[in-house]
Amino acid sequence: MRRWRAIPLGLMILAPCTGRNSPSARERIAGPSSGDYVVLIHGLGRTAWSMKRLEWALSREGYRVISMTYPSTRLSVEGASANWLAGLLQRSISDRTAKIHFVTHSLGGIILREFLSCQPIENLGRVVMLAPPNRGSELVDRLRQNWLYHRFTGPAGQQLGTEDSSLPNRIGPARFEVGIIAGDRSLNPRFSAWIPGPDDGKVSVRSTRLEGMTDFLQVRRSHTWMMWRQDVVGAVTSFLKRGCFTGGQVGSVHGKRLRLAVTSPKSSDVGS
């Protein structure tokens, strides 16, 4: 009976995960045949389609965009880093003189941090992380022992806790140019009740921050749909071009530079 009661919880976790989480999706480079590269890395249980609006926008900006689905629910963070991401870069980057930028969502940010801690990229450009659990997720602490969560999130889902020994907390500070965008709007009140402070329904704002980050942007967006929102896409483009997020009010939180996007809820934002 307890297992049946856990099913709705699992469905809430996995509801945003559309499409097959399969490595068989066609690898492609969108955009012009020259210019800097941007590699998009989606989050846990998602597919390359979840980063599609960013792909379209960055291609229009003149970047060569690389986006591919990887088996996020079947790999550990180390496996995704050493095998999938390393292989993707080796196969897809033919112009060794071009800069290689990255835009990640959620788990994708941890995979990239793990990769860069082991295999530095000489011509690394800028990195934008959307809702990364850089200090782990309190939601993982709460659900780690749940059989349905374990079954559907796989090895990586077990590695994202907030304890000091968790993988995100062991990797170390950023030694590259990185801007972080955190959301503070939740679509799941139950999950948010388990997460201290402002959160996006999956990750707390404070857990997204990373020592060594270049800039930080907090937006009224949810974890699930952040990368489809125009203000977020614009902020990503700004950071890749200029190394900072433009617009909004500038302030300071615990000594860190902070840019707060001034947005108000609109009817079109329901489900953000």
What is the pLDDT, as a whole number, of residue 265? Answer: 32
- How far is it, in rounded angstroms, from Cα 46 to Cα 156? 13
Number of domains in the chain: 1
pLDDT band at 15 (very low <50, low <70, confident <90, very high): very low
pLDDT band at 27 (very low <50, low <70, confident <90, very high): low
- Domain annotation covers residue 20: no
184 or 150: whose pLDDT is higher? 184
86 or 255: whose pLDDT is higher? 86
Q: Taking 70 as the threshold, does the pLDDT of residue 144 lie above it? A: yes
CA distances from 110 to 32, 42, 44, 98 (A): 29, 11, 11, 24
Count CA atoms within 13 Å of residue 250 on its CB side: 6
Q: Taking 50 as the threshold, does the pLDDT of residue 23 lie above it? A: no
pLDDT band at 150 (very low <50, low <70, confident <90, very high): confident
What is the pLDDT, as a whole number, of residue 28? Answer: 64
What is the pLDDT, as a whole number, of residue 49? Answer: 97
Q: Taking 60 as the threshold, does the pLDDT of residue 257 lie above it? A: no
Q: Taking 50 as the threshold, does the pLDDT of residue 22 lie above it? A: no
Q: Taking 70 as the threshold, does the pLDDT of residue 135 lie above it? A: yes
**Mean of pLDDT values over 108-134:** 97
CA distances from 95 to 25, 64, 71, 167, 205 (A): 23, 11, 27, 32, 37
- Amino acid identity of 194? W
Burial 121-142 (b: 16+ CB within 10 A, else e): eeeebbbbbbbbbbbbbbbbbe
What is the pLDDT, as a whole number, of residue 126? Answer: 98
**Mean of pLDDT values over 174-189:** 96
Q: Taking 50 as the threshold, does the pLDDT of residue 270 lie above it? A: no
Domain at 59, CATH number: 3.40.50.1820
The β-bridge relationship of strands 256-260 and 249-253 is antiparallel
Mean pLDDT for the chain?
84
- Domain annotation covers residue 270: no
Residue 67 belongs to what domain range?
2-14+25-265
Q: Taking 50 as the threshold, does the pLDDT of residue 171 lie above it? A: yes
Q: Taking 90 as the threshold, does the pLDDT of residue 29 lie above it? A: no
- Domain annotation covers residue 19: no
CA distances from 166 to 1, 106, 160, 207, 210 (A): 32, 16, 6, 13, 15
pLDDT band at 246 (very low <50, low <70, confident <90, very high): confident
**Mean of pLDDT values over 3-11:** 41
Cα pseudo-dihedral 31, 37, 38, 42, rounded to 10: 90
- Domain annotation covers residue 50: yes
What is the pLDDT, as a whole number, of residue 76? Answer: 97
Q: Is 169 exposed, middle or buried (0-12, 13-18, 19+ CB in 10 A)?
A: middle
DSSP letters spanning 163-212:
STTSHHHHS----S-EEEEEE---S-HHHHHTS-SSB-SSSBHHHH--TT
- Domain annotation covers residue 111: yes
- Domain annotation covers residue 271: no
**Mean of pLDDT values over 255-263:** 39
Q: Return the percentage of the chain with pLDDT > 70, whole number.
A: 79
Q: Taking 60 as the threshold, does the pLDDT of residue 151 lie above it? A: yes
- Domain annotation covers residue 94: yes
CA distances from 229 to 50, 59, 106, 114, 182 (A): 12, 17, 16, 27, 13
- Domain annotation covers residue 172: yes
**Mean of pLDDT values over 140-164:** 93
34 or 49: whose pLDDT is higher? 49
**Mean of pLDDT values over 221-232:** 97
H/E element holding 232? helix 230-242
